[in-house]
Amino acid sequence: MAESLGVIIATEESPSTSEFSFVAKEKSVKKGQYVQVSHGKGTMFGFVSEVFKSNRYFERPESVADFEKSAGISSQFPSDSWEYVIGAVKILGVFNNSRFERAFTPPSPGAAVHIADNTMLRTFLGFEDNGLHLGSIEHHDVPATVSMTRLLQKHFAILAMSGAGKSHLASVLLEELLERKKEDGRVAVVVIDIHGEYLGFLHDPVFGQKTSLVDGSDICIPLRKVSPETMMEWVPTLSIPQRDVLRHALSALRSEKKDSAGYGFNELLEAVERTDVAKDEVKRALKRSLSELKRYHFLSRKSEKPRLLSDIKPGHMLILDFSSIDSLRKKQILVSLMARRLFSLRKKGKIPPFLLLIEEAHNFAREKAEESEAVSRSIIETIAREGRKFGASLCLISQRPVNLSTTALSQCNTHVILRVTNPNDLDHIQMSSEGIDARVAKSITGLKVGEAIIVGEAVNHPIFVSVRERKSMKREKGAPLHQQAIDFEQKKEKKEKNVEAFL
Ligand SMILES: Nc1ncnc2c1ncn2[C@@H]1O[C@H](COP(=O)(O)OP(=O)(O)OP(=O)(O)O)[C@@H](O)[C@H]1O
Ligand SMILES: [Mg+2]
């Protein structure tokens, strides 16, 4: 065993079954380190929750003030050698017969404290050999290899302020999922990429073979595959008579055009006209409301893109690039369409278990949304509630957790939190994440870019992780600002020169 860090001291409150303090031999004890102490037949495990320094020479203010008037304490006494460091430890459990249990008796004062053994630490935190390698544990040479099943099965959320490293972490996770071996279990991945941040995967020599991309503007589905209920969800403002007409029109089309070349939007409008279940005003109002969907150009006669049945494959990623779509409504409708289709196909066992990763999730499952803006929320909440039974997992990424549906967020059993400074967001995260106590909450504002706290189902204990570098190519849409500015002026100058030359 490694040399001891120090020995346990007796104070008024400790050692107890929940905490102890130790005097450190070296001054190298760090907040956040894991430590262990022999305990009966087992090993007690703890976490350095705070580090204090003390020095008898500086305890009495009046004498310190007195000495500082003359030459100062340090120059007259060997005060440096009297400085000592105390580590306060929160006891996490006892490892006994390869099982972790609660501590029923305190450790003894005078017992030696060691830095935690790496193998035991991995078991303690719940890491697996074939888990997803997201980074490393602070202060320890232990890779954070989180169990895929524990992370994905009950959904997870990545929450942080803008620029804290959410998309970077998501990319690291995607690499891990794409690199998994068949025998370890591979899921399919679908990414709702709002800003074209995941395009690098497509151009990467390794990951490119496992990635396909569909531009959001090219997404389309035959009208035949859309149920009246789904369509009503997209246009929630329809009145009851309007809904009746729509249902009639769609079912008439379905029975009339069974074997033919399918039917599109114009046929739907004609079918609405033909129905005799409502007055002309109702039909006209319905057609007006439906015209919005027509504008979005995603309801087709026959063509379908992506073809989920063939495009969703284990160990493969489908990126839906929404960066060319301006309308939030259209994006929400497409998310609703894709999520519904995926969940329904998965329930029937027609596609493999999948992870649906949604960037800017607060725009698609908004807590307080107008009816017209809530189109995709209900399917996201449904997958959040029922998905785990069917192998349908969600990863919700958001820089505005306050605006994210509490139903969806509370069903995300693991929260990965990166830097957050906004007090409202912090409060919200603390309320919605069960594993976050005041101590962990305090550390969130102090996180640097690329540092994360993982709490919940995926780990046995909240952990701090330094997210690893990515292996895949990074390529984002949009050049840096200064380059865009230079390009703009160059283009303008060229144009002016051309005009001059022409004159
Ligand atoms: N662990 C890390 N190691 C190295 N670089 C990182 C790490 N995490 C983030 N970065 C870098 O920090 C920058 C911001 O990260 P990222 O784009 O992932 O932030 P974000 O939280 O997704 O921001 P936004 O909310 O604006 O989408 C990027 O340039 C990224 O490469
Ligand atoms: Mg991002």
Taking CA atoms only, the protein residue closest to ligand 1 atom 7 is: 450
- At residue 438, does pLDDT exceed 90? no
Question: Is 367 a member of any domain?
Answer: yes
Instruction: Among 250, 265, 300, give the residue marking a domain's end.
Output: 300
What ligand is nearest to the CA atom of residue 161?
A: 1
Residue 469 host element (H or E): none
Q: Residue 1 — pLDDT band, cuts 50, 70, 90?
A: low
Q: Residue 111 belongs to what domain range?
A: 6-116
CA of 306 to the centre of ligand 1 (A): 29
Question: Is 485 a member of any domain?
Answer: no
Whether residue 205 is found in the same domain as residue 293: no
| Token output for 186 | 């591979």
* Residue list, ligand 1 pocket, CB within 6 Å: 160, 162-168, 399, 449-450, 467, 469
Structural contact between residues 29 and 135, judged by C-beta atoms closer than 8 angstroms: no
What ligand is nearest to the CA atom of residue 398?
A: 1
Structure confidence at residue 27 (pLDDT): 67
Whether residue 182 is found in the same domain as residue 314: yes
Number of the ligand 1 atom closest to the C-alpha atom of 135: 1
Mean per-residue pLDDT for 454-468? 93
Over the stretch 146-157, which tens digit does the pLDDT of each residue have?
Answer: 999 999 999 999
Question: Is 480 a member of any domain?
Answer: no
Question: Is 160 a member of any domain?
Answer: yes
Number of the ligand 1 atom closest to the C-alpha atom of 197: 17
Instruction: Among 300, 325, 358, give the residue marking a domain's end.
Output: 300
Structure confidence at residue 180 (pLDDT): 96
Mean per-residue pLDDT for 41-64? 89
Taking CA atoms only, the protein residue closest to ligand 1 atom 1 is: 450
Question: Is 279 a member of any domain?
Answer: yes
Over the stretch 399-424, which tens digit does the pLDDT of each residue have?
Answer: 999 999 999 999 999 999 999 999 99
Structure confidence at residue 96 (pLDDT): 86
- At residue 431, does pLDDT exceed 90? no
CA of 239 to the centre of ligand 1 (A): 45
The CATH number of whichever domain residue 162 belongs to comes to: 3.40.50.300
Q: Residue 501 — pLDDT band, cuts 50, 70, 90?
A: confident
Instruction: Among 261, 284, 300, give the residue marking a domain's end.
Output: 300
Question: Is 481 a member of any domain?
Answer: no
Structure confidence at residue 436 (pLDDT): 84
Strand order in the sheet with 132-137: 143-146, 132-137, 463-467, 451-456, 414-417, 156-159, 392-398, 354-358, 188-193, 317-321, 211-215
Structure confidence at residue 261 (pLDDT): 76
Q: Residue 248 — pLDDT band, cuts 50, 70, 90?
A: very high
Residue to probe by mutation, ligand 1, list 159, 168, 475, most atoms within 8 Å of CB:
168
Over the stretch 271-310, which tens digit does the pLDDT of each residue have?
Answer: 999 888 878 889 999 999 998 899 999 999 889 999 999 9
Q: Residue 75 — pLDDT band, cuts 50, 70, 90?
A: confident
Whether residue 213 is found in the same domain as residue 243: no
CA of 352 to the centre of ligand 2 (A): 27
What ligand is nearest to the CA atom of residue 466?
A: 1
Phi, psi at 137, each rounded to 5°: -80, 135
The model carries a pTM of: 0.88
Whether residue 199 is found in the same domain as residue 319: yes
Question: Is 137 a member of any domain?
Answer: no
Taking CA atoms only, the protein residue closest to ligand 1 atom 4 is: 469
Whether residue 59 is found in the same domain as residue 181: no
Question: Is 93 a member of any domain?
Answer: yes
Whether residue 374 is found in the same domain as residue 229: no
Residue 6 host element (H or E): strand 6-9
Give the Cα separation of 318 and 296 in Å (integer): 22
Structure confidence at residue 362 (pLDDT): 95
CA angle in degrees (0–180, nearest 5) for 402-443-46: 125
Whether residue 243 is found in the same domain as residue 324: no
In the three-class reduction of DSSP (H, G, I as helix; E, B as strand; rest coil), residue 98 is classed as coil
Over the stretch 250-272, which tens digit does the pLDDT of each residue have?
Answer: 999 888 876 667 888 888 999 99
Q: Residue 28 — pLDDT band, cuts 50, 70, 90?
A: confident
What ligand is nearest to the CA atom of residue 168?
A: 1
Whether residue 205 is found in the same domain as residue 231: no
Residue with tokens 């839906």: 320
Please, which residues bridge with residue 465 across strands? 137, 452
**Helical residues (DSSP H) of 44-157, grouped into ranges:** 61-69, 73-76, 118-125, 148-152
Mean per-residue pLDDT for 446-465? 92
Whether omega for the bond prior to residue 353 falls within 30 degrees of 0, making it cis, is no
Q: Residue 476 — pLDDT band, cuts 50, 70, 90?
A: low
Number of the ligand 1 atom closest to the C-alpha atom of 399: 25
Structure confidence at residue 258 (pLDDT): 65
Structure confidence at residue 478 (pLDDT): 65
Whether residue 106 is found in the same domain as residue 212: no
Q: Which residues contact 225 (CB under 8 A, 6 or more apart)?
A: 304, 341
Residue 440 host element (H or E): helix 438-444
Whether residue 369 is found in the same domain as residue 452: yes
Whether residue 433 is found in the same domain as residue 359: yes
Average pLDDT, the chain: 91
Handedness of CA 32, 33, 38, 40 (dihedral sign): positive
Total domain count, the chain: 3
Whether residue 39 is found in the same domain as residue 176: no
Q: Residue 502 — pLDDT band, cuts 50, 70, 90?
A: confident
CA of 187 to the centre of ligand 2 (A): 23
Between residues 139 and 257, which one has the greater pLDDT?
Answer: 139
Over the stretch 171-227, which tens digit does the pLDDT of each residue have?
Answer: 999 999 999 999 999 999 999 999 999 999 999 999 999 999 999 999 999 999 998
Of 86-95, 300-309, 424-433, the poorest mean pLDDT is in 424-433
